[in-house]
Amino acid sequence: MTMAMPEAKEGTLPPLYFAPAKQKLEHARRPSFNKLPEKYLIKSKDEDVDKADANSTQGYPPSKPMHRAAAPSYLSVEAPAQNYRGFFNLLVIILGISNFRLILAAIHKHGFVFSGVLQHARDLSHISRDPWEEFPFVSGFLLQLVFITVTFAIEWLLSRKKLSESVGMILHQINAHSAIAVSTAIVWNFINKPATGVMLLSHATITWMKLISYYHANEDYRLSANKAGGDYHTATLALVEDLDEVDEHISYPRNVTLRNMIYFCAAPTLTYQIAFPKYPRIRIFRVFGILFRMVGILALFTFLAAQIVSPVLQGLVKDLEATNGVYTAGILADYWLRLSIANIYLWLLGFYFYFHLYLNLCAEVLRFGDRVYYKDWWNSSDVGSYWRLWNVPVHYWLIRHGTFHGKFNPSPNSSSITAIDSLRV
């Protein structure tokens, strides 16, 4: 399979081959004993010549050999690459019918739970009754802007040599780690809703990673400007394509601006660089198309969570209460099997919503060029390949900042550049 498919790479399984169905003959149906016109006969070398004989009115010679060469069965390992589209279509049909039956059974047992979710979403009185529950969440988001501003202020002072290198880097580290520490304290002490806490901590983690990348990269630019006369900027920009004209000759410290900082914090990336590849314009129709799909995916995600997952979890709580909190392997296995299919759907929908729709929406609005946020993780043959492929932004961040020691190699062909560039593939 791998030899038959040269596009297969090391560390991933060969991709399945799903060829499109052959085009149907555009002619009226004829009786089997009539000979088709010459223009409808298939003359491909790969087609079995017996098909042409079957369309003929002449008889098939009884002595004509049927077995002409040694060949394996189509589903054998030795067989050449086959087209499995028919099996794929059959599995999709079976999957759709079985899961539609699962949803109908959940509605019949628990009622249409989604109507209660919509009613709760329209009822905003709970916010006015206890506004303090919402205040820690909003304040946690606003505090992230404060940490971003402090990072920019420290870097601006370092770029103008109004702050020593050691003091500036210590302040950078304290500020970046405080961004996630303060949010963790807010969630631990003031937020009781798991979903709200996850949203705030996720945003704080992204901010923390961006701040670390920002001051690590600028430290590298700053050291290169002091030791190599700015040649490192030319080397790094030479690796980047599709730059705006204003970014083609940018160098440190001209990149240390509030606008540049805000763009990086809003861009769908975790690794800072002096300039990013960009699309020439914003495609409005694509923006609306992404928004339309986001609404549909979010509605389907909410429906599955409310209609299937929530009632099953409530049943688990009741069973644990009936046994005074004592659970057995049988109980956990039973509920794990009930939730397994729904959890897979929720994970896939969440992945598609965030990594494909949301990040592409941000990239389209900001004209951000590099939109490879994931690779073919579904073909991974080992756990290591899966973790490298399913979350590319985090993988890039770990490559660049996971082993950073603040040492600069001023050579334009330095190992730091070539290593990162090779690991991106």
| 17-75 pLDDT, tens digit each | 555 555 444 444 444 434 444 544 444 444 455 555 555 556 667 777 878 888 888 77
Query: Which amino acid is residue 16, in one-letter code?
Result: L
Q: Which residue from 216, 113, 218, 114 is spatially nearest to 160, judged by alpha carbons?
A: 218
CA distances from 88 to 20, 55, 95, 98, 286 (A): 12, 30, 10, 15, 29
In a domain? residue 331: yes
pLDDT at 173: 94
Q: Tell whether 144 and 247 lie within a shared domain.
A: yes
250 within some domain = yes
Higher pLDDT, 144 or 34: 144
Quick check: is 7 in a domain? no
pLDDT at 115: 60
**Residue 112 located in a structural domain:** no
Phi, psi of 380 (to 5 degrees): -65, 135
Q: Is residue 391 part of a domain?
A: no
Is the model's pTM score more than 0.85? no
Average pLDDT over residues 213-239: 75
Please state which of the ranges 267-276, 344-353, 375-384 shows the lowest mean pLDDT. Answer: 375-384
Q: Which two tokens stand for residue 327?
A: 């659970």
How confident is the model over 70-97, as a mean pLDDT? 79
Banded pLDDT at 98 (limits 50, 70, 90): confident
pLDDT value of residue 14: 52
CA angle in degrees (0–180, nearest 5) for 266-271-273 = 90
- Whether 152 and 269 map to the same domain: the answer is yes
The reported pLDDT for the residue numbered 215 is: 93
Name the domain count of the chain. 2
Q: Is residue 249 part of a domain?
A: yes
Q: What is the mean pLDDT of residues 290-306?
A: 90
One domain, residues 153 and 288:
no
Q: Average pLDDT for residues 98-118, to the nearest whole number?
A: 67
Of 9 and 266, which is predicted with more confidence?
266
Count the alpha carbons within 13 Å of 80 in the hemisphere toward its beta carbon.
2
Q: Is the domain of 177 the same as that of 296?
A: no
pLDDT tier at 150, thresholds 50, 70, 90 = very high
Q: Which of 79-83, 111-115, 165-169 has the lowest mean pLDDT?
A: 111-115
Q: Calculate the average pLDDT of the chain.
A: 77
Encoded tokens for 422: 């090779």
Mean pLDDT of the region 384-410: 78
Instruction: Clarify whether residues 183 and 225 are in a common domain.
Output: yes
Residue 295 and residue 267 share a domain = no
Whether residues 138 and 201 share a domain: the answer is yes
Residue after which a domain boundary falls, among 214, 249, 280 = 280
* Token output for 141: 């988001």
Are 208 and 252 members of one domain? yes
For 244-274, the DSSP string reads -GGGTT--TTTT-SHHHHHHHHHSS-SS--S
| SS3 at position 196 | helix
Mean pLDDT over 356-368 rounds to 94
pLDDT at 184 (0 to 100): 93
Q: Output the pLDDT for position 110.
A: 65
User: Are residues 165 and 262 located together in one domain of the fold?
Assistant: yes
**Pair (330, 213) in one structural domain:** no
Domain extent for 350: 284-366
pLDDT in tens, 123-139: 545 444 445 556 888 88
Mean pLDDT of 307-325: 79
Average the pLDDT over 184-198 and give the result: 88
Q: In this structure, is residue 178 part of a structural domain?
A: yes
How sure is the predictor about 237, in pLDDT bands with cuts at 50, 70 and 90? confident
Q: Which of 366, 392, 419 is the last residue of a domain?
A: 366
**Pair (200, 307) in one structural domain:** no
Give me the pLDDT at residue 359, please: 95
* Total residues found in the chain within this entry: 425
Backbone angles phi, psi at 68, to 5 degrees: -115, -15
Give the span between the Cα atoms of 95 and 130, in whole angstroms.
44
Question: Which range has highest mean pLDDT (129-133, 208-212, 327-331)?
Answer: 208-212
Has residue 160 been placed in a domain? yes
**Whether the bond into 311 is cis, omega within 30 of 0:** no
More confident residue, 420 or 320: 320
Q: Is the pLDDT reported for residue 410 higher than 70?
A: no
Q: Of 344, 366, 388, which residue constitutes the final position of a domain? A: 366
Both 171 and 270 in one domain: the answer is: yes
Report the pLDDT value the prediction gives residue 364, as an integer from 0 to 100: 94
Unique residue bearing structure tokens 């609005």: 365
Q: What is the predicted pLDDT for the residue at 70?
A: 83
Give whole-number Cα distances, 305 to 23, 309, 311, 316, 352, in Å: 41, 5, 9, 15, 16
